[in-house]
Amino acid sequence: MTTTPNTATATPTPISAPQMQAVTQARFGGPEVLRLTTTDRPVPGPAEVLVRIHATAVNPTDVWHRATGGLAGTGVPPVPLGWDLSGTVEAVGIGVTLFRPGDEVFGMPRHPAPAGTYAEYATSPARHLVHKPAALDHVAAAALPLAGLTAWQALVDTADVQPGQRVLVHAAAGGVGHLAVQIAKARGAHVIGTASAAKHGFVRSLGADEAVDYRTTDFAEAVSDVDVVVDTIGGAYGPRSLRTLRPGGLVVSLASPAEAALADEARRLGVRAVFMAVEADRAGMQALVDLVERGELRPHVAEVLPLAQAAEAHGRSQSGRTQGKIVLTTAAYTPADA
């Protein structure tokens, strides 16, 4: 007697997607909403690469998106957090010619769209990344893309800073500020930075020619004949910065998109003011690499924490006291990366 298998009731073995750890949130709110969870590893699409992330960095925009949804504006979490990454190409999608598996890369993918680099893996358009320079380990490289591109696009693409011009950088010891000081100096500018007195030594070590203690001195009275102001703070700093400009000077605001009145007041005074949002930019990333390789740019890492401590890192970041950048590391991180 021959028996036939009952294939109608056979259950196929499910094929599970590779997993990874990533930081997520179920609601908007304070740092405590962040959780390290297990989720599916993404798959690179055409013209994309999959990066095994060694390190990512914390930025003020991450804090904003965690609390409010930020540019996503959906009001419905989760918003994938993180834009900075430094790591190793794991796989490439169809049509990628710039990279192959094993290449060390870094960059700021997709911004202002979500990128989700608070994770062990992330996909990125290939042309949003560049090869990591040997002069930077993964931790330092992760600290550079978003803040560095912000400073570069403000000073070079927007303001076109020239040798001999006077540049005022607010929060000169901060994430964007400490890189803006170095970039402006590399452009041949006379650089003035605002920072607390305790940070003046650090600001001068970056190349600043002058440092102003914003706690004890009104920078708008102490500084004059400025060509370009990089305002990383917003609020009253924008209008007050207009008073430091020479005729035709420019304030580049990085923090206050709602202050349309600032541009009107600038026109009344014979100066200019614009708001700038950073964009993914391969050419800008390569320009930063060139500065790094010439020894003219170096990100300062204030603290390194594991990805599981993202909530703690956010709490420290939003305190406003961080000098340089806070970096988060993943399971791919090894002591050789630091």
Distances, alpha carbon 78 to alpha carbons 65, 73, 143, 298, 301, in Å? 10, 11, 24, 33, 28
CATH superfamily of 147-275: NAD(P)-binding Rossmann-like Domain (3.40.50.720)
Distances, alpha carbon 191 to alpha carbons 166, 176, 297, in Å? 6, 14, 15
Q: What is the tens place of the pLDDT at every residue in 148-181?
A: 999 999 999 999 999 999 999 999 999 999 999 9
Task: Work out the burial of residue 151: count CB atoms within 10 Å of its CB; fewer than 13 is exposed, 13-18 middle, 19 or more buried.
Answer: buried
More confident site: 290 or 27: 290
Question: Average per-residue pLDDT in the chain?
Answer: 92
Q: How far apart are CA 149 and CA 172, in angstroms?
A: 16
The residues of the chain that CATH labels 3.40.50.720 are 147-275
**Region label for 271, one of left (φ > 0), alpha (ψ between -120 and 50) or beta (otherwise):** beta
pLDDT of 318 > 90? The answer is no
Looking at the DSSP assignment, which residues form a beta bridge with residue 250?
Answer: 228, 272
Name the H helices within the chain. 60-68, 138-142, 145-152, 175-186, 200-205, 219-222, 237-242, 260-269, 282-293, 310-317
pLDDT at 8: 40
Least confident stretch, 66-75, 189-198, 231-240, 250-259: 66-75
Report the SS3 class of residue 246. strand
Closest-CA residue to 117 (of 59, 160, 161, 203): 59
What value does the mean pLDDT take over residues 105-111? 97
pLDDT of 49 > 50? The answer is yes
The residues of the chain that CATH labels 3.90.180.10 are 19-144+299-337
What value does the mean pLDDT take over residues 290-318? 97
Least confident stretch, 71-80, 195-204, 211-220, 253-262: 71-80
Q: How far apart are CA 325 and CA 293, in angstroms?
A: 20
Domain 19-144+299-337 is found in CATH 3.90.180.10? yes
pLDDT at 319: 82
pLDDT of 32 > 50? The answer is yes
pLDDT at 4: 43
Closest-CA residue to 86 (of 130, 34, 152): 130
